[in-house]
Each structure stands twice: as C-alpha cells, then as structure tokens.
C-alpha cells in the first residue's frame, strides 16, 4: 500500500461495537455491528470482536494494525480500560494485551472522544493544524485537545473534557459536583428541557420529542423565534467554554462535532459571534472555526488513524 | 561546568529590567537594575542591556547563553517582540536577532509569564512533572501551561492566559470583552476593591491601602472574619478557572505564584477545597497543588533556564 497501511478501526459504543477497514480516511469495508448489551462481561464480547476482526482480515489479508476507541477512561500507554461510563463489566481490562495476543497484530486503545478528535485532526476538518480544540456535542459533551502537534491526554488520560468545564462558578452542578458544567447547559437532554420550558413559558405545550435538537433546528429553519433564541443561547454558552480553551491553549482551529452540531449555522453563527467578541485581535486572526468533517464514522476513522499513525510514525 | 552552563536571565519589567547570572536554579551574580521608563524607545534600552550583559560576562567569561522574559506578546520562534502591554516603543522588535548580533551569544526571548512557568517547571515546585499548570496572581493574572513535557505556547504564542478565561458567562467584562474574566475578580486591584466594599457594607471605612492583599492577609491572620471570607471567595473563583484547566488538560501539578499567593494557606486552603470538590476521583488522586518556589526571582531564573535548556537539549 506504498507506506499507507490498511488498518481496522473499532468504535466501541454503549449500544453497539462498530468495526471498519479504513484506508486513509476512507472506509473500504465494515463488519456487522455487535450489540454491546447482549454480552454480560468483557470476555465474550472481546471474543465476538476478535471473530469480527478475523472475518475482515480474511477479506483483507494486508491489514497491519487495529485501533480501538472506548467510551470511558483508558490508560493509553498500557492500553488498559480503567472503566466505562455506561457498560458493565469493564473495570481494569488490559484490552490492548488481550487483543494483541488473540489477533497477532499491533493494537492501540484510546478514549472514544480522543479517537474522534484524531479523525478530525489527521483526516478531517483539523488536518494540517498543530493546535486544535475538538468539541463533541451529544448526550454527553466531550472533546479532545491537540497542542504542539500532539494529542494531549493528560496525567491520567482524562484531558479534553469540555463538557465538565464550568461556564458559571455558581451554576448548575455537573456529574462531579462541578458547578456550571457546560454539559448541563448544552447536552442533548438539557437542550430539550430548556426548549420545552421556553415554549411552556409562553403557553405553548410541546412534547419532549418536538423539543429535541433536531426538531429545534427544523423549527428555527421555519422561522420559529423561540427555537432561534435557544440556538443563540447554546452558541453563547458553548462559546464561553471554548473561549476558555482559547485563552489557555491559543489554538488555530476549533472543530465542532457530534449530533447537536448537525444544526449547522444555527449553532455555529452565534457561537462564532460570541467567541470572537471575547478574544484578542491576534487570536482571532489566526483562528478557524469548522464543523466536523465526519459524523457517525468519526469513531472508526479515528481509531483506524490512531493505529495507522503509531504504525507509520511510531508515535 | 560539566555540561550545566552558566546563563544570563533577563527579566524585562514595566518598571525595571533585571539581569542575573544563573547556575542551575541559583543566582550567582546580578547587574544593577535598569529603569525601563527612562528610555524612550527600544534602541537605547537595548544598548544599556547589552552594556550590562558585557559587565557580567567580564566577571564570568564562561557564560554560554542569554534568556529574556518580556511583558507582552512574543513570537518565540523568531524571538520577535510583537508588542508590550505597558511599555512604549516596542512594536515588532526582533530582539533575539539584535541581541545575538551585539552580544555574540545565543539568545532566546519568551513571554515573562512563560519564563516564570519554566522556572517552576524546570527548577521549582513543578520540577519533574510532565503536565503542569502555573498561575501567577498579581495586578495581572497570567500563567503558563506545560503538557506532554513541553511548554505550550499556542498558535500565536498567547497560551496560558488564565486571567482572561471566564468563570461566569454573564460576568464582569475583561480587557477583551471576555465576560467573567478571572482577572476582574482576583487581580490585585479587584481584591482591594472587593474588600473595601465588603468592609463598607458593614459600616467599616478602610483606606484602599488597608484593603490590599497584604493587609487583607494580615487581618485574616488576626481573626478578621471579613478578611477570611474574602480569601475564601478568591480561592473559590480561582478554583473554577483552574478546574477548567484540569478538565481540559488533566495536569498532575498546579503551581500558584505571584504576589497575591504570598497569602499562603489563606488562599490555598479554600482553593484546594473548592477545586477538589469539583473534580473526579482519579484526577484528584494524581493532582498536587503547590505554592511557587520562586518569588521576585522567578523571571530571571526562568529566562536563564529557558536559555540553558535550549543550549543543552536543543529544545
């Protein structure tokens, strides 16, 4: 493959495990998804993943490495899954070691948000930049930090948690007692609840489904001012958390992904307006704001890119 | 000197330029300070600095390099002073090039807060750590970020600006329109004004001098509950900004310096309490909070360490 190897990316989610064969940023094959919750412990699920990898290798004998993104804390150096947020039976699992023994290929294991950040940085919207902040907006709000041309994972692999950072020192408590946690303002459920309350306040009773981020985007596109105002507020709050990342890290690119970011300009325009109004001149001139290039596939593409990079560059 | 060279550190302040000969973390000689404001442009001031460097070299012929910390934006790669916050006549000055030509030694030029961060990271409280946040509390609130064992300077050398990061998305505007800027809550002047108002609210009229951070620390030590409460609030607000740095960068060490930090435990105890109450378990276990090892000398020691490191390690 002329130095650019084929790798398998595995995106381990709370609902399903997705596996794909990736060349550069292109998915060239994939395996049927594995339903995560059908497996009680990690042993059987790992065996099922190994079977799936073997099927893909039977079709693509030149696969050179495997990358895995996990939804929780991962000791990246050891490839050890410390624990997962929403999946039982995954405490202290040496996943890299187990998979390498069973598959016979080099394996790298990282946090799933880091994998999404790597996808955008290596192959997507953040390609070519040395300082990138990636924010993923969904039910959870996460992200990844690239500085000096390196992924920043931190002392215990917990870096990039934009959703836990505070936008108000007296605000709503997050999952760790962290007052003003961004996730409690712009997470999927919180957007829905806020919109529901805003409609109710003017006597409009909507179902929660009609207040989802997708419904709210559709309404705003049709001229609904309450919906537009909600997106303005989401952009404003997101801008504060990202601005804090800018003052600390002075990035050149900000990439916004995740399901909520599908609102596009409805979110990005107010976000940009509030962000640029709160940065110094030279910061702004060198700063690009971009929507993520990848959607659902960011996880597998990033996991595959992680493996490819370590294989090719040894880092 | 067995591989550990002698270097000169220059701490360029708004009031005076300090020069010292440094071995490891020890100042072994220094030149008389130069009064910054007596020089109208940069040419004469640079000539005066060069004369001072030559005097020091006459006494220490084995000086191998020079480091300079500047109070403003510096293009570190080029050694170009872009502009200074409080000193006239310093726009786009190629200081590294000018000094290297005049002195005939390698010179490195960095932002002064970065130099202080380097002093703490290379020789002080943060020594041996790969992920460090340094915060400097004074009239201005600044800092420096070390991640993956590297100084993070950012896309246009503006990283580490803790004082500009927000603790309240609806808060007081900072110098760049940045709402809730930490500096507007815990800067020297703001601490004084807040204490003055707190005393006035209960009918105690104090002079502003009696509300300075130093006076407030002395009062708190004597059992003054209003003063203690002020320190508690300062610790709480500082904790929010540092917490945001923790969620983004997951450091292993936090070093607090600057004049306001001389309050010691009065500041650090509430700071720790609020910070640890808002982080996850594994973050806390691996996190150390430390007062800075160096005071006024951090600037020269850090500038000297910057030069020494580039000389020895080539980075």
pLDDT tens digit sequence for B207-222: 999 999 999 999 999 9
Please give the sequence-ordered ranges of beta strands (E in DSSP) within B138-201, or none if there are none: 141-147, 150-152
How far apart are alpha carbons B195 and B173 in whole angstroms?
Answer: 20
β-sheet bridge partners, residue B119: none
Other beta carbons less than 10 A from residue A34's beta carbon = 19
Whether residue B104 is found in the same domain as residue B151: no
Mean pLDDT of chain A: 95
How far apart are alpha carbons B41 and B299 in whole angstroms?
Answer: 22
Is residue B243 classed exposed, middle or buried when 0-12, 13-18 and 19+ CB atoms within 10 A define those classes? Answer: buried
Query: pLDDT: is A272 or A24 the higher one?
Result: A272
Beta carbons of A233 and A239 less than 8 angstroms apart? no
Contact yes or no for B243 and A283 at CB 8 A: no
Nearest CA in chain A to B129: A155
Would you say residue B77 has pLDDT above 90? Answer: yes
Take residue A173 and report the two structure tokens written for it.
Answer: 């408590």
Half-sphere exposure of A34 (CA within 13 A, CB side): 23
Task: Tell me if B69 is assigned to some domain.
Answer: yes
Task: Tell me if A123 is assigned to some domain.
Answer: no
β-sheet bridge partners, residue A70: A111
Phi-psi region of A150 (alpha: psi -120 to 50; beta: other; left: phi over 0): beta
Whether residue B149 is found in the same domain as residue B36: no
CB interface of B with A, residues 240-279, below 8 Å = 240-241, 243-245, 247-252, 277-279
Is residue A205 classed exposed, middle or buried when 0-12, 13-18 and 19+ CB atoms within 10 A define those classes? Answer: exposed
Contact yes or no for A152 and B147 at CB 8 A: yes
- In chain B, which residues have their Cβ closer than 8 Å to the Cβ of A271? none
Tell me what pLDDT residue A312 has.
85
Contact yes or no for A167 and B164 at CB 8 A: no
- B172 touches A: beta carbon within 8 Å: no
How far apart are alpha carbons A188 and B155 in whole angstroms?
Answer: 32
- In chain B, which residues have their Cβ closer than 8 Å to the Cβ of A237? 169
- In chain B, which residues have their Cβ closer than 8 Å to the Cβ of A283? 156, 158
List the single residue in B167, B169, B280 with the smallest CB-CB distance to A236: B169
Q: Nearest CA of chain A to the CA of B278: how many Å?
A: 4
Residues sharing a CB contact under 8 Å with residue B212, sequence separation 6 or more, in sequence order:
B188, B191, B192
Whether residue A91 is found in the same domain as residue A237: no
List the single residue in A82, A155, A286 with the smallest CB-CB distance to B251: A155
Take residue B309 and report the two structure tokens written for it.
Answer: 């490191």
Which of A28-32, A116-120, B85-89, B146-150 bottoms out in mean pLDDT, i.e. has the lowest?
B85-89
List the single residue in A155, A165, A283 with the smallest CB-CB distance to B286: A155
- A224 touches B: beta carbon within 8 Å: no
- Convert chain A into a string of H (helix), E (strand) and C (coil): CCCCCEEEEEEECCCEEEEEEEECCEEEEECCCEEHHHCCCHHHHHHHHHHHHHHHHHHCCCEEEEEEEECEEEECCCCEEEEECCCCCCCCECHHHHHHHHHCCCEEEEEHHHHHHHHHHHHCCCCCCCCEEEEEECCCEEEEEEECCEEECCCCCCCCCHHHCECECCCCECCCCCECECHHHHCHHHHHHHHHHHHHHCCCCCCCHHHCHHHHHHHHHCCCHHHHHHHHHHHHHHHHHHHHHHHHHCCCEEEEECHHHHHCHHHHHHHHHHHHCCCCHHHHHCCEEEECCCCCCHHHHHHHHHHHHHHHHCC
Would you say residue B315 has pLDDT above 60? Answer: no
How far apart are alpha carbons B242 and B248 in whole angstroms?
Answer: 10
Would you say residue A50 has pLDDT above 90? Answer: yes
Is residue B222 classed exposed, middle or buried when 0-12, 13-18 and 19+ CB atoms within 10 A define those classes? Answer: exposed
Take residue B314 and report the two structure tokens written for it.
Answer: 């080539």
Q: If you ran DSSP here, which 8-state letter would residue B31 be given?
A: P
Which residue's structure tokens are 């370590």?
A310
Q: Which pLDDT tens digit goes with each residue over B82-98?
A: 988 778 889 999 999 99
Whether residue A221 is found in the same domain as residue A281: yes
Beta carbons of A108 and A237 less than 8 angstroms apart? no
CA-wise closest residue to B87 among B106, B70, B109: B70
Contact yes or no for B243 and A158 at CB 8 A: no
**Residue numbers of the domain that contains B269:** 125-291
Whether residue B32 is found in the same domain as residue B174: no
Beta carbons of B307 and B66 less than 8 angstroms apart? yes
Give the mean pLDDT of A86-107. Answer: 94
- In chain B, which residues have their Cβ closer than 8 Å to the Cβ of A244? 165-166, 241, 244, 248
Q: Nearest CA of chain A to the CA of B311: how many Å?
A: 20
How far apart are alpha carbons B216 and B222 in whole angstroms?
Answer: 10
- Residue B88: helix, strand or coil by DSSP? coil
CB interface of B with A, residues 129-168, below 8 Å = 130-131, 145, 147-148, 150, 152-162, 164-168
Whether residue A37 is found in the same domain as residue A153: no
Nearest CA in chain A to B281: A176
List the single residue in A73, A161, A167 with the smallest CB-CB distance to B166: A167
Tell me what pLDDT residue B2 has.
52
Q: If you ran DSSP here, which 8-state letter would residue B71 be given?
A: S
Contact yes or no for A82 and B282 at CB 8 A: yes
pLDDT more than 90, % of chain B: 87
pLDDT more than 90, % of chain A: 87
What's the domain count of chain B?
A: 2
Q: Which pLDDT tens digit goes with each residue over A254-264?
A: 999 999 999 99
Half-sphere exposure of A132 (CA within 13 A, CB side): 30
Mean pLDDT of chain B: 95
Whether residue B108 is found in the same domain as residue B143: no
Whether residue A138 is found in the same domain as residue A276: yes
Torsion of CA A154, A159, A160, A163, to 10 degrees: -160
Q: Which pLDDT tens digit goes with each residue over A145-188?
A: 999 999 999 999 999 999 999 999 999 999 999 999 999 999 99
Tell me what pLDDT residue A1 has.
42
CB interface of B with A, residues 295-314, below 8 Å = none
Tell me what pLDDT residue B1 has.
42
Would you say residue A293 has pLDDT above 50? Answer: yes
Burial A236-254 (b: 16+ CB within 10 A, else e): bbbbbbbbbbbbbbbbbbb
How far apart are alpha carbons B7 and B10 in whole angstroms?
Answer: 10
Q: What is the sign of the dihedral through the CA atoms of B94, B98, B100 and B103?
A: negative
How far apart are alpha carbons B40 and B19 in whole angstroms?
Answer: 20
- In chain B, which residues have their Cβ closer than 8 Å to the Cβ of A250? 153-159, 161
Contact yes or no for A178 and B131 at CB 8 A: no
Whether residue A96 is found in the same domain as residue A199: no
Whether residue B148 is found in the same domain as residue B249: yes
Give the mean pLDDT of B159-164. Answer: 97
Task: Tell me if A1 is assigned to some domain.
Answer: no
Contact yes or no for A278 and B131 at CB 8 A: no
Task: Tell me if A122 is assigned to some domain.
Answer: no
Count of residues in chain A: 315
Phi, psi of B134 (to 5 degrees): -115, 130
pTM greater than 0.90 (yes/no) = yes
Task: Tell me if A145 is assigned to some domain.
Answer: yes
pLDDT more than 70, % of chain B: 98
- In chain A, which residues have their Cβ closer than 8 Å to the Cβ of B249? 145, 152, 154, 159, 248
**Vertex B147: Cα angle to B172 and A286 (nearest 5):** 60
Task: Tell me if B230 is assigned to some domain.
Answer: yes
Q: Nearest CA of chain B to the CA of A206: how many Å?
A: 29
- In chain A, which residues have their Cβ closer than 8 Å to the Cβ of B278? 166, 176-179
CA-wise closest residue to B214 among B261, B268, B269: B261
Other beta carbons less than 10 A from residue B87's beta carbon = 20
How far apart are alpha carbons A74 and A72 in whole angstroms?
Answer: 6
Query: pLDDT: is B190 or A313 the higher one?
Result: B190
Give the mean pLDDT of B231-242. Answer: 98
Is residue A313 classed exposed, middle or buried when 0-12, 13-18 and 19+ CB atoms within 10 A define those classes? Answer: exposed
Phi, psi of B152 (to 5 degrees): -100, 110
Say how many CB pairs under 8 Å bridge A and B. Answer: 164
Whether residue A200 is found in the same domain as residue A235: yes
- Residue B133: helix, strand or coil by DSSP? strand
Tell me what pLDDT residue A32 has.
97
Task: Tell me if B118 is assigned to some domain.
Answer: no
- In chain A, which residues have their Cβ closer than 8 Å to the Cβ of B147? 145, 147-148, 152, 154, 159
Contact yes or no for A244 and B249 at CB 8 A: no
Q: Which pLDDT tens digit goes with each residue over A195-249?
A: 999 999 999 999 999 999 999 999 999 999 999 999 999 999 999 999 999 999 9
Q: Nearest CA of chain A to the CA of B102: how many Å?
A: 30
Beta carbons of A67 and A106 less than 8 angstroms apart? no
Identify the band that residue B188 occupies on the pLDDT scale cut at 50, 70 and 90.
Answer: very high
Which of A13-17, B61-65, B129-133, B182-186 bottoms out in mean pLDDT, i.e. has the lowest?
A13-17
Tell me what pLDDT residue A315 has.
57
Contact yes or no for A278 and B177 at CB 8 A: yes
Q: Which pLDDT tens digit goes with each residue over B2-50?
A: 567 899 999 999 889 999 999 999 999 999 999 998 987 899 999 999 9
CATH of the domain at B97: 3.30.420.40
Q: Nearest CA of chain A to the CA of B267: how many Å?
A: 17
Whether residue A229 is found in the same domain as residue A170: yes
Task: Tell me if A112 is assigned to some domain.
Answer: yes
- Residue B145: helix, strand or coil by DSSP? strand
Tell me what pLDDT residue A281 has.
84
Query: What distance, in Å, lies between the first and last C-alpha atoms of chain B?
Result: 20
Contact yes or no for B177 and A73 at CB 8 A: no
């Amino acid at each position: 493959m002329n130095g650019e190897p084929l790798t398998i990316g595995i995106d381990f989610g709370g609902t399903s495990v997705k596996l794909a064969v990736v060349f550069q940023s292109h998915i060239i094959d994939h395996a049927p998804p594995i339903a995560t919750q059908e497996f009680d412990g990690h042993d059987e699920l790992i065996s099922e993943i190994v079977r799936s990898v073997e099927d893909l290798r039977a079709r693509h004998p030149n696969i050179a490495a495997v990358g895995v993104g996990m939804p929780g804390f991962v000791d990246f150096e050891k490839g050890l899954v410390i624990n997962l947020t929403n999946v039982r039976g995954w405490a202290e699992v040496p996943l890299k070691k187990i998979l390498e023994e069973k598959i016979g290929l080099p394996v790298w294991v990282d946090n799933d948000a880091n994998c999404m950040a790597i996808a955008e940085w290596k192959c997507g919207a953040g390609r070519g930049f040395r300082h990138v902040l990636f924010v993923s907006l969904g039910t959870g709000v996460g992200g990844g930090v690239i500085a000096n041309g390196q992924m920043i994972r931190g002392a215990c692999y917990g870096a990039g948690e934009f959703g836990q950072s505070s936008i108000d020192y007296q605000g709503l408590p997050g999952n760790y007692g962290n007052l003003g946690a961004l996730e409690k303002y712009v997470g999927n459920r919180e957007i829905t609840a806020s919109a529901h309350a805003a409609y109710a306040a003017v006597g409009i009773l909507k179902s929660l489904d009609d207040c989802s981020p997708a419904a709210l985007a559709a309404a705003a596109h049709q001229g609904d001012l309450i919906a537009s105002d909600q997106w303005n507020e989401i952009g404003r709050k997101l801008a504060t958390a990202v601005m804090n990342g800018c003052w600390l890290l002075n990035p050149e690119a900000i990439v916004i992904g995740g399901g909520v970011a599908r609102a596009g300009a409805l979110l990005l325009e107010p976000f940009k307006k509030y962000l640029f109004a709160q940065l110094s001149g030279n910061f702004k001139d060198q700063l690009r704001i971009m929507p993520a290039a990848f959607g659902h596939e960011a996880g597998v593409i990033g996991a595959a890119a992680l493996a490819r990079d370590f294989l090719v560059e040894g880092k």
